Structures are given as C-alpha cells and as structure tokens.
Structure 1
Amino acid sequence: MNYEFTTVGALIGLAVAIILIIKKLQPAYSLILGALIGGIIGSGSLVTTVNTMVSGGEGMISSVLRIMTSGILAGTLIKTGAAEKIAEVIVEKLGEKRALAAISLATMIICAVGVFIDISVITVAPIALAIGKKSGYHKEALLLAMIGGGKAGNIISPNPNTIAVSEAFKVDLTSLMMKNFIPAICAVVVTILLSTMLSKKQGVQVTENDLEQKEDKNLPSFIQAVAGPVVVVILLALRPVASIVIDPLIALPVGGVVCALACGQIKNIREYAEFGLGKVVGVSVLLIGTGTIAGIIKASALQYDVVHILKMANMPAFLLAPIAGILMAGATASTTAGATIGAQTFAGTLIKSGVSALSAGAMVHAGATVIDSLPHGSFFHATGGAAGLEIKERMKLIPYEMCVGLTSTVVAVMTYVI
C-alpha cells in the first residue's frame, strides 16, 4: 500500500471543510482549505500537499469543460420557456386528480433533459403552487413531489454530477444515465406515494400571495420545446447503438442550439449561452475545489482502511460505492460534490475489488441523492424558497427525501447484485 497521507489527516481535512461550509464560507474555498489542512496534518509536507491538491484539481478539468458547455442547453431550455412548457403540458395531460404525480414527473423529466435539479424545482414551482391552490394540496406535499421527481431525474440526466461520475469511472455518459433508469422510476413512484401520504397531514396552505401574477408568456409549442433534448438523446445514444462517439462536450451545446432554432430564438443564443454559463460557473468552481480534497483523500490511507473495515465486518466490497456517495454528499450537502469526491476517491479501489465501473458509478451516483439536501447546502434553501416554506417546515421534508434517495440507491445495488 502506497499512500502519501494518513487516514486521520484526510478525515480531519474533510471535517474542517464541512465545518467551514456550515459556517457559510464559500464551499470551494472551504474544500481547498480543508484539503490543505488535511494534507499537512496527515503527515504530508507542504510541497507534497499542494502538488496533490493541484493534481486533484487538474483531474476535474475535463468534467468542468463538459459542464461549462452543458450550460448552453440548460440556459436555452430555461430562457426560451421550453422547460416551463414541458412541465405545463405534463401537468395538463395528467390533470388535477393526479396532480402530485404530474408534478413529480414534470420535475423528473425537466431535470433528466439537462436542467439542474434546483432550477428544475424553481421552474415547476409556480405551476405546482397554482394547481395546489386549486386542488387543496399544501406546500410540503407539493415541494416533496418536486424534490423527489428532481432526485429521480438527476441520476439519469447529463447534469454536472453525472458527468463527473462518468469521468471518474471512465464510462460512457449515456450508459451511466441508462444504468440508473430503473432506480429512477422506483424513486419517482415512491415520491408519489410519500407526497400523497404527506398531503393527508396538516401543512402550510398555498395562498393567493404565493401565486405568480398571470402574464401572457410566449411559450413555444411542445414539439419545439422537446426538440433540443431529443437531439441530445439521439447524439449521446449513437455511441452505444452505432459505435459513433459524440462527446457530451459537443452533444449538449448542439442540443441548446437546436432548441433555440426550433423555438425561433436563435438570435438570442448568445444571451442564453451567457445565462447558462452563469448557472454552471458556481458548479465548475465547486468541482475544482472538490478535486483538491478528493486528491488528498485519494492519496491517503482512507480508502484502504475503509475496505479493511468492510472485510472485518464481512461486508461485500461493492457496498463501498453507495456508502461513499451517501457520506460524501451528506458531508458537502451537494449531489455534485458528494458524487465527485466519492467517485474520484474510490473508483480505483472499487474496480480493483471486481466491481464493474458502470455499476460502481451508478451506485455512487444514486447514493449521493440520499442526504444531499441538508441545511448547510444551497439546495435546501433554494427549494424551500421556491415553495415559500420557512426553514422549520422545510426541515420536516428531509426524512421523506432520504426515503426517495434510499429507494434509488437500494434498487441500484439490487440491479448490480442480481
């Protein structure tokens, strides 16, 4: 076993990063500082620590480039109204009687076609609140339906977390997305059941003040709205279907351009690209910070010690994958950061243990959706604000969200075992 840093040092560094994030220091800086402290405490020299951090950050560049170009698709879907149109049509087709199912599916699909999960919830929220007011559903049930649907869509989307995991395990992005399709379906079914159950309890009712003022929005048709995502799916599917490799770095922005063309808004593509870039800059910077601490953890004895503990407990090595995703996402309160650290740190160990790269990636990714929405992360507050819930009410949803994430994780593990 060759390692540069001790397990204790790596854990202390991670703990420092968590504390700083909770204290509201910028997450990327928190991770970088945690990596530096962890490396030095972990018996590394200052030079070795910094070099390892830089190497870890450099390892994220390919993911960052793909994520930056994905902003063109996300920005175009949002600014053209395509995402809103997709949600609107799904809710209309399923009707008020199946409102919670419609809201869950709408959020799932919007997230799955390339809109980030927090933006997916924010996009669907006005529609959900309006139908909730009419149908008598309270905010907690509506928000759970959106979050659960978003979690399901997030593990089958070309979003930053999926890209980062596919890069870490060196697997095809489309194959990784499809690997978690059944876990995603199970997660959305559980979401519908839980939100329906929650709707029968007391909650905060939707009022007129919560509803957006109606305005004449020039939304595209449904065919126009789905044109971009359909092109992305076709381009990414060419690799497994016809052995024609179209990298996400090309497929995702092409989908954005097609969406703008289909919606008759190609003249605004520069504006949409700038908007999308603004949405992914934060994630890109976070991933570089994530890479620094992932580099320290990867070069430490932590992975060997964890495997040793699993063997002592007579637990199979593949369980390291979901456990890594769960713990790292909980620590950072971020699906992207948690999935990235878990994948970057344990990819080599899992593959050496005989776990296929694709299955390991799917389990890490699914695990990262279990406790990723804790209060020290932005997703908790962004989604609570979208539904107009106070922190106290928003906190009550965490156990339900955990059940949704655990569902997809357990199913992902079962698909590997079976």
Structure 2
Amino acid sequence: MTITVGWWAALLGLALAIALILMKLNTTYALLLGAIVGCLIGGASFSQTVDIVIKGSQSVMGTVVRVLAAGVLAGVMMESGAADTIARTIVSKFGEGLAIFSLAFATMILCAVGVFIPVAVLIVAPIAIEVGSKMKISKLAILVALSGGGKAGNIISPNPNTIAVASGFKIQPSQVMIASFIPALCGLAVAVLLATLTQHRGTVVTMADLDKGGGDAKGDKELPSIGRALVAPVVAVVLLMVNPVGSLLHIGLLQRFQVDAMYILPIASIIGLFAMKQGGHILDYTKAGLNRMVDVVLILIGAGALGGLITTSDLPQQIVRLITGMGISGSFLAPIAGILMGAASASTSTAVILGSSSFGSAILRFGVSPVAAAVTMQAGATVIDQLPHGNYFHVTAKSVNMTLGERMKVVPFEFLVGLTMTIVASLMYLVF
C-alpha cells in the first residue's frame, strides 16, 4: 500500500530539522527526526514511516560509496602536505601584486583537486594572513577571496557535492565538473572583484590572527615538491575526463573507458602517494581521509531520509504549481531547488541530495537534461549555504579569527558569488 504524505507535513518535517540543527543537535539526528516526525504527522503509520526513511536512506548509498572513495584522495592531499605545497606555490608565483587573486585562485584549485572547501580555506588561511598583514588587507576581503574561490572550485571538483548531484541525476561526476567550468570562472572573477573592493573595509588582518586561526598548513620542511604534489590530482582529473572527452570528440576507444570515480580516485591517490615517496604512510593517510568522510556520510544518510519524506509527499508538485503560477518557467526549478535546499541545510552536499531526490523527476519532466539540471542545482546550492546553522560558517570564521558579527558581513558577498555562478549556469544550460 502506497501513501502520499501531505506537503504541509513535509514542510513541518524540514522546518523541525532546521530548528534542531540551530539548537546544535547533531545534523544527522536532526535530519532523521525531521523525516520521522514529518511522516507521522502526515498520516504514515509507524511501519510506513520506517519504510520511507529506509528507502530514502538507501537512495544515497551509491553516493556514499563514491564519497568514501573520494576520502582516499582527500586524505592523501591533506595529510601528505600536497595541498599546502599547491597553495603556497600559487601564491608565491603570482606575488604580492596579485595577492587577492592568488589567494582566491589557490583556494579554488585546492577544492578543484578534491580538498573539502572548509579544509581548503583552513589550509590557505595562514598564507592569507601572512600576505594580508604585509599588504594591510582586511579580514573581510581575505575571507571573501578564500570563500568565493572555494565555492568556485567546489562545483568543478570530485567532492561530495558533485558526486551527490551527479548520482542524483544518474550521470558521471566528470560531466558536472566540465559543464560547471565557465560558471566557476565567473564565480572566481566576482570573488576577486568583491575582495578587491573591500580590501580596506573592516579590521585589517595581523600576524596575531595567525595564532588564533584554525590553519592546517604544515611546515615547509615536510612539504613535497610541486611536481610530486600534483601527480595525484592530475591523474585523477585525466582519468575522470577520458570518457566525457571521448564522447565530445566521438572517439570510440575513449568512450568505452567507463571507469567509475569509485575506482579512479583511490587509484590516483595511491599513484600520487608513491610519487611523493610516502607510500609507507598509505594506511595512516587513508584512515585520516576516512575519518574526514564519516560526518559527511552520516549527513548524507540523514539527508536521504528527509529526501524520502519529501519525495513521498506532494510538496514537489505544489512547488511546481507555485512556480508556474508565478509565471516562472518550470525549467528553473533546478536552481531554485538548489537555493532553497542550500539555505535550509547550510550545506552544499545536503542541498543537492535533498534537491535531486525530491525534485529530480519533476525537473526532468520539464525537458531539462540531467547535466543541465545537475549543474544549475549545484550552482544554486552555493548561493546561501554559508548560514550560521551550518559548520562552514563557523570553521571559516575561526580560520581568520573573526567574530560572529564580522563573519555575518561576509555572507552577502558569498551570496553574490554563488548567485553569479547560478545565473551563468542557468543562462548557459536553461536559456540559450
């Protein structure tokens, strides 16, 4: 016997989850409780509620497996010092004259090669503080550059959000990465522009902030050379791009190379590890990478459960009616869903899980291609995913020793970066 939960119950379940997150309850439990309460008040029996929650959680298992595989690359890049080497090399090559651009670009590249966005900000933050203290750059401008660059890199990376949205629309992560490249460049440009305009607004960063920040940078003596540091990400990117490039150029041999990211990311990581002559640390680095993925995986499971509630309800249909009733084309449901879910969850990964599982079918019925839906939804999820009920807000505030009031002033600028990427992606894939 099937059941349709009322849209109002799904909204109450989502609202409860958000409220519990704001009350500092563990995000996974908050999402699960929101899903359970929403099902029960919406008319589902206890056994039906269990079925809905389990079905929703099972829907994200493909994403979970790929995210765990991505943890190997994340662990290698972060623990070996490769990420630090890449960041320091970029900043030193561009010099102080292009300091703001180099900081934003370094964070973008770190995210693009598989480092989580909060960790990328933490890695670049100590370098940014050193440069900013010499150039008299404000904390506001530094975090706008770091966060904006990170958002740009996050939509073109093999990170959990890209893997999740690709899985949601049953396409390869590499397709999303390639299609998001131009929106990402536009986001980077806006981040640099905004950071440049605000470099003298607010408190100037000083070396005293370095000791109070949360930077992860390693000492120079521990870092591998730039050539060795690039091996793992380059191998990963090349292998991920083989099939999409083959499809684009109609090269049969390349098209037949259909190796999933679940294989590619660990293989590239191990190759890179031996290139850096750190093969003896493989157990430690993979364990560290797995530990970093545990929270992400648990949140994805909770998001899947809540997605199960929304999918079982008629909320997607009601939102479609609302959008079309306002005269907005239904094809824009993907970026709108990304923006709404990003604001609700304060997490890009959670947002695209909820968005794709809840609204995926409705979006595709409007004739939107899976790639266009994935790219625009992920871009939309970056617009307001930096709110205080999420971890990213607080981690990045700590990275440059900001008060909560100072951190809130960065949010509008991050909003503009995400909105730019969403508008560009929508124009490219939904309008023209």
TM category (shorter chain) comes to: over 0.9
Paired letter, 1:259: G
Secondary structure, in 3 states, of the residue corresponding to 2:269?
Answer: helix
| 1:249 partnered with 2:265 | no
Tell me if 1:317 matches 2:317. Answer: no
Are 2:31 and 1:18 equivalent residues in the alignment? Answer: no
The partner residue of 2:346 within 333, 339, 357 is 333
Q: Residue in 2 aligned with 1:197?
A: 197
Contact 2:139/2:402, CA 8 A, preserved across alignment: yes
Q: Counterparts of 2:209 and 2:407 in 1: how far apart (Å)?
A: 19
Residues 355-400 of structure 1 show CA distances to partners (whole Å, capped at 9, x for unaligned) of: 1111011111000001001001100000111111111111110000
Q: Which amino acid aligns with 1:8?
A: W
Q: Which residue of 2 aligns with 1:374?
A: 387
> Aligned partners of 2:33, 2:208: CA distance in 1, in Å?
46
Are 2:313 and 1:300 aligned? Answer: yes
Q: For residue 315 of structure 1, report the CA deviation from its aligned partner.
A: 1.0
Taking a change above 3 Å as real, the CA distance of residues 298 and 201 of structure 1, as seen in their structure-2 partners, is same
Separation in structure 2 between the aligned mates of residue 59 and residue 202 of structure 1, nearest angstrom: 46
2:96 — aligned with what?
Answer: 96
Instruction: Map 1:64-75; keep pairs closer than 5 Å.
Output: 64-75=64-75
Q: Do the aligned residues in 2 keep the contact of 1:56 with 1:291 (CA within 8 Å)?
A: yes
Distance 2:363 2:325 in 1: 17
Paired position in structure 2 for 1:220: 224
What amino acid sits opposite 2:30 in the alignment? S
* Alignment deviations for residues 57-79 of structure 1 (CA, whole Å, 9 cap, x no partner): 01111110110111110110011
* Residue 324 (structure 1) shift: 0.5
Aligned: 1:233 with 2:237: yes
1:381-392 matched pairs, under 5 angstroms: 381-392=394-405
Structure 2 gaps, min length 5: 247-253
Match of 1:4 in 2: 4
Q: Is 1:115–1:159's contact at 8 Å kept on the other side of the alignment?
A: yes
Give the structure 2 partner of residue 173 of structure 1.
173
Whether 2:362 is the aligned partner of 1:362: answer no
Deviates more, 1:210-219 or 1:64-73: 210-219
Do residues 42 (structure 1) and 46 (structure 2) align? Answer: no
In the TM superposition, what is the alpha-carbon distance from 1:218 to its structure 2 partner?
2.3
Q: Determine if contact 2:3/2:44 at 8 Å carries over to the other structure.
A: no
Distance between the aligned counterparts of 2:29 and 2:300, measured in 1? 11
Which amino acid counterpart does residue 173 of structure 2 have in structure 1?
L
> Residues 333 and 376 of structure 1 are in contact (CA less than 8 Å); yes or no, is this contact kept in structure 2?
yes
Segments of 4+ moved more than 6 angstroms: none
Distance apart, 1:127 and its partner CA: 0.8
The structure 2 residue matched to 1:263, chosen from 261, 270, 276, is 276
The 8 Å contact of residues 138 and 206 in structure 1, kept in 2 or not, is answered as: no
Which residue type is aligned with residue 116 of structure 1?
Answer: F
Counterpart residue identity of residue 326, structure 1: I
The equivalences for 1:44-123 within 5 A come to: 44-123=44-123
Shift of 1:140: 1.6
After superposition, the Cα gap between the structure-2 partners of 1:79 and 1:309, relative to the gap in structure 1 and judged at 3 Å, is: same
Contact 1:333–1:372 at 8 Å: present in 2 too? yes
Give yes or no for contact 1:238–1:246 (8 Å, CA) kept in 2: no
Which residue in 2 is equivalent to 1:138? 138
TM-score, normalization: structure 1?
Answer: 0.97
Measured against aligned partners, the alpha-carbon deviations of 1:249-281 in whole angstroms (never above 9, x if no partner) come to: 011111211121111101001100000001111
Query: Which is further off, 374-383 or 42-51?
Result: 42-51
Q: Would you say the 8 A contact 2:120–2:150 is kept in 1?
A: yes
- Is 1:188 the counterpart of 2:188 in the alignment? yes
- Give, as a single letter, the amino acid of the residue that structure 2 aligns with 1:135: M
1:277 corresponds to which residue?
290
Deviation of 1:3 after TM superposition, in Å, equals 5.8
State the shift of 1:217 in Å: 2.4
CA deviation after TM superposition for structure 1 residue 216, in Å: 4.4
| Contact 1:335–1:372 (Cα < 8 Å) also in 2 | yes
Deviation (angstroms), 1:214: 9.2
Deviation at 1:148, TM superposition (A): 0.3
Deviation at 1:146, TM superposition (A): 0.5
**Alpha-carbon deviation of 1:80?**
1.0
CA distance in 2, matches of 1:112, 1:185: 12
Quick one: which of 360, 366, 372 aligns to 1:347?
360
Q: Distance in 1 between matches of 2:94 and 2:416?
A: 25
**1:268-315 deviations in Å (ceiling 9; x for gaps):** 011000000011110001000000000110111001111111221121
The answer (yes or no) to whether the contact 1:108–1:154 under 8 Å persists in 2 is: yes
2:360 & 2:68 partners in 1: Cα distance? Answer: 24
CA distance in 1, matches of 2:427, 2:397: 32
Partner amino acid, structure 2, of 1:304: Q
The one-letter code sitting in structure 1 at the alignment partner of 2:383 is V
CA distance in 1, matches of 2:417, 2:221: 34
Supply the distance in 2 between the matched residues of 1:41 and 1:321 (Cα, whole angstroms): 28
Change (3 A) 1:315 1:86: same
Q: In structure 2, how many angstroms separate the alpha carbons of the residues matched to 1:299 and 1:35?
A: 11
Alpha-carbon spacing, 1:245–1:225, altered in 2? closer, same or farther (3 Å): same
d(CA) in 1 for partners of 2:386, 2:258: 35
Contact 2:162 2:378 in 1 (8 A): yes
